Structure 1
Amino acid sequence: MGSRPVPKYLSTSECNVDIPGFLRIHKDGRCERLVGNDIIPPGTDTSTGVISKEVIISHESKVFVRMYINSKTCIATNHKLPTLIYYHGGAFLTESAASSTYHPTLNLITKESNLIVVSVNYRLAPEHLLPTAYEDSWEAVNWVATHVKGNGPESWLNDHANLQNVFFAGDSAGANIAHNMAIRLGLYPINDIKLAGVILLHPYFGGEVPIEGENLEYKTYFDQVWRLVNRPGVGLDDLTVNPGMDPRISSFGCSKILLCVGEKDKVKERGYNYKNVMENSGWKGRIEFMETKGEGHVFFLFNSSSENARMLRNRICTFINPNTSKI
């Protein structure tokens, strides 16, 4: 759901669903994704010195993670780093942890914030309706946690991950996932893993009742997509998409959130609403808020070299590393 005009959710003679430039679901059930298909293989990024690799974490589901680490850190010994578990966006329908949409930005975040990134490739709807993406994402958290004692299956995490300093992050639908994983971790702590913070970038939330200032045309599209990615009966006020309806929200699993929105983002009012909900929920934490002027939805993925994208990444860096000098 990038920076583009409000998509139209259509039905045609050939397709049950046709979202121009985004997705088609054909009458025979075949899903044709029109974005997020350009894959960049893992390896060494010469411009940042970051190396990446992929690890299958479930042979049953084929869920994998793409991991990132600074090459200089990788050869060091006993050097522990913050660990960022990242969930990609794409309305639960498109994109992947391996796509060209995410690889450049995660290389830059890895370098600039000096951390390990574990980017999760969860299964997509409509082939795998929600809550599959949430369950895959939770499985990834549990997989990371198996490295707490330094004897898990992945050497980068055993040798370099500080699992007392873990962050969840995501953009759009991925920010929705990050929020829901933080709720779940607060309710069901895992081993000795400690969630230090959550980073929500242009989050994907909704609700049955429109809120003040909300783009109603976009809300209509959003509502249709939400029904498309869910099983029948899951409504717009489900706890996973409308935090204001969630009685468990004060159990959020950490004490700080970085919430980022774009001034021209058509879902920004839901971000403002999220801030109000969290601040009035009884949650004992604080929200840092950043609005990027003049920018639309997840702009930082499509123009990672822009000054506004650099400033957003700098805010992420200082959120994770409060004592780090500005870039």
Structure 2
Amino acid sequence: MANQNMRTNEIVHEIERMIRIYKDGSVERFMGCEVVPPSIDPQTGVQSKDVVISHENSISARLYIPKSQPHPSKLPLLIYFHGGAFCVETAFSPMYHNYLNSLVSAANIVAISVDYRRAPEHPLPTAFEDSWEAVKWAVSAEDEWVKNFANLERIFFAGDSAGANIAYRMGIRVGMEGLTSGAKLVGNILVHPFFGGEEPIGSEMVNHYSETLEKLWRIACPTTVTSLDDPMINPSMDPNIGKMGCERVLVCVAEKDWLKDRGWYFYEELKRSNWKGKLEIVETAGEIHIFHLYNPTGDNALAFIKLFVSFFNEAVKVKVKANM
């Protein structure tokens, strides 16, 4: 019996300080486990609440509206997809809750932060399907906040890391399947996108990128036939890349991010595709992956907020390879 227990508890996958997966299917997560309740934020006055999108599939979201005040018209709607390599973090973590409070206040928007199911318990494409169900729920305006405050003709997607991957795929899905009548996806913001490929590019050749990404991808999509050239992780292999269903896309990369070269590569691939929208890219000097979440009060993080506000207001000024 002891030997059987040892075999059952064998570690089959582990990312240090992130996640550990055992042979018996049990999972230990070491980051992104803390959650905070919805609230009225004392600093910004932003109000939030949680909703269940699908009881059957355990999909939920946190909704945000700016401080109560008379609005001459309805506000843009941001649908946000959190990061975490598809396997850690939630829409309810302090990091994302605090960031959405700040963004909603600064941009004067309505936001929906999607809590999709995570790998390895729910491997890809579950996160994509959950997120699409959340998008369809949002544009249905079943929720009173969405119905009363959100302008469904001005919808934006955004996400960081794995969430940027999701935001990309949701943009493609809008282009292929459309939204309900009257709803319009205007723009898509991809922050430090979690993309990959079998062949290393740029700095990936010397920074052990492929080994780390392969481990993460094996957790997110643990089938024997998928590779890092699967379209779910490598958009350059996606025949539908040119079908992005919005007018504008902003790609954000960071100088010291191990995923930087993939962000640039995606930018170039989308530019070469038959998509006719406005495409821009910003690289932040001296910063690491999702720096704006780890250090939300830093100068570059505050500049990030201003950049997003400009994007929502259709006045993005691109600064490539320079401090913002």
TM-score, normalised via structure 2 length:
0.91
Aligned 1:1-327 pairs, distance under 5 A = 14-73=10-69, 76=70, 79-147=73-141, 153-192=142-181, 193-214=183-204, 215-232=206-223, 233-322=225-314
RMSD of Structure 2 on Structure 1 (CA): 1.7
Deviations 1:56-107 (A, max 9, x none): 010101210101111224xx46730000000000000000000012111110
Q: How far apart are 1:234 and its partner, in Å?
A: 2.0
Q: How far apart are 1:28 and its partner, in Å?
A: 2.2
- Over 4 Å off, 4+ runs: none
Q: Kindly indicate whether the alpha-carbon contact (under 8 Å) linking 1:78 and 1:160 is maintained by their aligned counterparts in 2.
A: no
Which residues of structure 1 form unaligned runs of 5+? 1-12, 148-152
Range with bigger deviation, 76-85 or 31-40: 76-85
Q: Kindly indicate whether the alpha-carbon contact (under 8 Å) linking 1:173 and 1:203 is maintained by their aligned counterparts in 2.
A: yes
Q: Kindly indicate whether the alpha-carbon contact (under 8 Å) linking 2:15 and 2:215 is maintained by their aligned counterparts in 1.
A: no
SS in 2 for 1:112: helix
- Which letter does structure 2 place at the counterpart of 1:254? C
Q: How far apart are 1:259 and its partner, in Å?
A: 0.8
Q: How far apart are 1:231 and its partner, in Å?
A: 4.2
Q: How far apart are 1:210 and its partner, in Å?
A: 1.3
Q: Kindly indicate whether the alpha-carbon contact (under 8 Å) linking 2:77 and 2:154 is maintained by their aligned counterparts in 1.
A: yes
Q: Kindly indicate whether the alpha-carbon contact (under 8 Å) linking 2:172 and 2:241 is maintained by their aligned counterparts in 1.
A: yes
SS in 2 for 1:166: strand
Deviations 1:172-213 (A, max 9, x none): 000000000000110000212200000001000011111233
Counterpart CA distance in 2 for 1:38 and 1:129 is 22
Q: How far apart are 1:18 and its partner, in Å?
A: 2.1
Deviations 1:27-53 (A, max 9, x none): 321101100011111011000110100
Counterpart CA distance in 2 for 1:246 and 1:303 is 34
Counterpart CA distance in 2 for 1:47 and 1:200 is 27
SS in 2 for 1:289: strand
Which residues of structure 2 form unaligned runs of 5+? 1-8, 317-324
| Aligned residue-pair number | 307
TM-score, normalised via structure 1 length:
0.90
Tell which has more relative contact order, 1 or 2 (C-alpha 8 A, sep 6+). 1
Deviations 1:227-269 (A, max 9, x none): 2211412221111211111111111101211111111001100
Q: How far apart are 1:26 and its partner, in Å?
A: 2.0
Counterpart CA distance in 1 for 2:170 and 2:228 is 19
